[in-house]
């Protein structure tokens, strides 16, 4: 009896020992390139929703800073869809018209014309090669950036994350990168980027003094939101999350209904079973 209990303990004990031995190695790796911290997001969790005002501010940051290098790759009209930044149709038309779009006229000649809501927001670069030539590496297209990047929190957090439905790696990663330029003298050194050498010079330097972190234009936001590096990073990360997953809200609502149905169904099944078998017990 006792030996068999011991034997069954060997495997879990061996596993624990392996983790204990491996833990310092994980910790060392974490020191070199820390794991991004989890920020609080309005769209996290089963009841999460995008914050319209935040998405509008995030778009402003994208347009005035990130779009100087990164493509977004979504049509203008998406910006007026429900669940997004919800700009008015008029605002989107006016915005699109400020861009020049490549097109062909009736004679088949290449022309430029003002943008329309159905056009994709154009990229500043003609193509990837031109962008790569400018920075050594092409800035990745942003419409999937928030989904394409993920990181592992390491043991045991990845188990905890399963239960808390943690899905915000993308925005947490973007936030970490934007705030990872911790060497004022080297604006391509990033704490969170693998190897620390990133081809993107700190993009928020156009809004904040690299040494003091103070806003260069305190009136950057017009809705009264304080212009801090943390706020600006969060707003643009939230916007990019929406761009990568515009139907997140709807998906969560459906998921919640399915869960509610399953719970109700489980109760029904349980009481039906009880009722059906109650007679059987009585006559036994
Ligand atoms: C001056 C050009 C430039 C600007 C402005 C810029 N980026 Fe970048 N970005 C790049 C380049 C180039 C890369 C590729 C870096 C690399 O792989 O080393 C990059 C990479 C990134 C990455 C890392 C992608 C990955 O591999 O995980 C993130 C996140 C990012 N940019 C976010 C932003 C955000 C948000 C903004 C606006 C606030 C912005 N960028 C503005 C040029 C720029």
| 149 Cβ below 6 A of ligand 1 | yes
238 lines ligand 1 (CB under 6 A): no
Shortest-distance atom of ligand 1 to CA 206: 5
What is the number of other CB atoms lying within 10 angstroms of the CB of residue 204?
19
The verdict on residue 192 lying in a domain is yes
For residues 129 and 250, give the distance between their C-alpha atoms in angstroms, rounded to a whole number: 37
pLDDT classification of 21: cutoffs 50, 70, 90 = very low
Domain count, the chain: 1
Query: Using a 6 Å cutoff on CB, does residue 131 contact ligand 1?
Result: no
Within-domain flag for 204: yes
Residue 102 lies in a domain: no
Among 7-16, 240-249, 251-260, where is mean pLDDT lowest?
Answer: 7-16
Tell if the pTM clears 0.85, that is, is over it.
no
CA 216 – CA 205 distance, rounded (Å) = 9
- The response to whether residue 139 sits with its C-beta less than 6 Å from ligand 1 reads yes
Q: How remote is the CA of residue 15 from the centroid of ligand 1, in Å? A: 40
Q: Is 198 in the pocket of ligand 1 (CB under 6 A)?
A: yes
Q: Is the CB of 200 under 6 A from ligand 1?
A: yes
Report which ligand 1 atom has the smallest distance to the Cα of 199. 18
Whether pLDDT at 284 is above 60: no
pLDDT digits (tens, 9 = 90+) for 203-254: 999 999 999 999 999 999 999 999 999 999 999 999 999 999 888 877 777 8
- The 3-state secondary structure of 114-139 reads ECCCCCECCCCCCCHHHHHHHHCCCC
The pLDDT of residue 258: 84
Whether 178 is covered by a domain: the verdict is: yes
Judge whether 14 lies within some domain. no
Give phi and psi for 229, each to the nearest 5.
Answer: -60, -40
**Which ligand 1 atom is nearest residue 149's CA?**
27
**In this model, does residue 165 exceed pLDDT 90?**
no
How far apart CA 181 and CA 198 sit, in angstroms, is 10
Average pLDDT, the chain: 86
Which domain covers residue 30, as residue numbers? 26-49+152-251
The reply to whether ligand 1 has any atom less than 6 angstroms from the CB of 177 is yes
At 28 the pLDDT is 47
Collapsed DSSP state (helix, strand, coil) of residue 211: coil
pLDDT above 80 for 64? yes
Report CA(143)–ligand 1 centroid distance (Å). Answer: 13
Q: Whose C-alpha lies nearest to ligand 1, atom 24?
A: 140
Q: Which two tokens stand for residue 162?
A: 């399963």
- pLDDT bin (cut points 50, 70, 90) of residue 16 is very low
Centre of ligand 1 from the C-alpha of residue 177, in Å: 9
Interval between CA 139 and ligand 1 midpoint (Å): 6
Q: How far is the CA of 199 from the centre of ligand 1 (A)?
A: 8
> Best substitution site from 70, 72, 195 to test ligand 1's pocket, by max atoms within 8 Å of Cβ?
70
Pairwise CA distance, residues 77 & 87, whole Å: 9
From the CA of 242, how far away is ligand 1's center (Å)?
17
Residue located nearest, by CA, to atom 2 of ligand 1: 69
In this structure, is residue 272 part of a structural domain?
no
In the chain, alpha helices (H): 2-32, 52-64, 89-97, 128-135, 145-148, 157-164, 169-178, 229-244, 248-283
């Amino acid at each position: 009896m006792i030996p068999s209990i011991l034997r069954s303990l060997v495997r879990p004990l061996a596993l624990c020992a392996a983790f204990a031995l491996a833990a310092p190695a994980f910790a060392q790796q974490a020191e070199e390139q820390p794991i991004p911290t989890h920020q609080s997001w309005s769209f996290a969790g089963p009841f999460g929703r995008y914050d319209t005002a935040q998405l509008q501010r995030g778009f402003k940051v994208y347009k005035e800073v990130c779009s100087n290098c990164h493509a977004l790759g979504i049509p203008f009209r998406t910006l007026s869809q429900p669940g997004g930044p919800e700009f008015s149709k008029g605002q989107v038309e006016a915005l699109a018209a400020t861009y020049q779009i490549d097109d062909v006229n009736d004679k088949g000649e290449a022309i430029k014309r003002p943008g329309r809501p159905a056009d994709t927001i154009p990229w500043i670069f003609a193509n990837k090669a031109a962008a790569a030539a400018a920075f050594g590496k092409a800035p990745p297209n942003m419409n999937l950036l928030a989904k394409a990047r993920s990181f592992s929190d390491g043991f045991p957090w990845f188990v905890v994350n399963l239960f808390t439905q943690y899905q915000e790696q993308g925005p947490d990663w973007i936030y970490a990168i934007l705030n990872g330029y911790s060497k004022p003298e080297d604006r391509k050194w990033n704490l969170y980027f693998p190897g620390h050498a990133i081809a993107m010079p700190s993009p928020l330097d156009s809004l904040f003094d690299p040494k003091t972190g103070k806003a260069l234009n305190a009136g950057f936001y017009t809705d009264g939101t304080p212009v801090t590096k943390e706020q600006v990073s969060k707003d643009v990360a939230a916007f990019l999350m929406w761009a990568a997953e515009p139907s997140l809200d709807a998906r969560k609502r459906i998921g919640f209904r399915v869960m509610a149905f399953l719970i109700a169904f489980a109760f029904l099944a349980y009481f039906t079973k009880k009722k059906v078998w109650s007679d059987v017990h009585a006559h036994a």
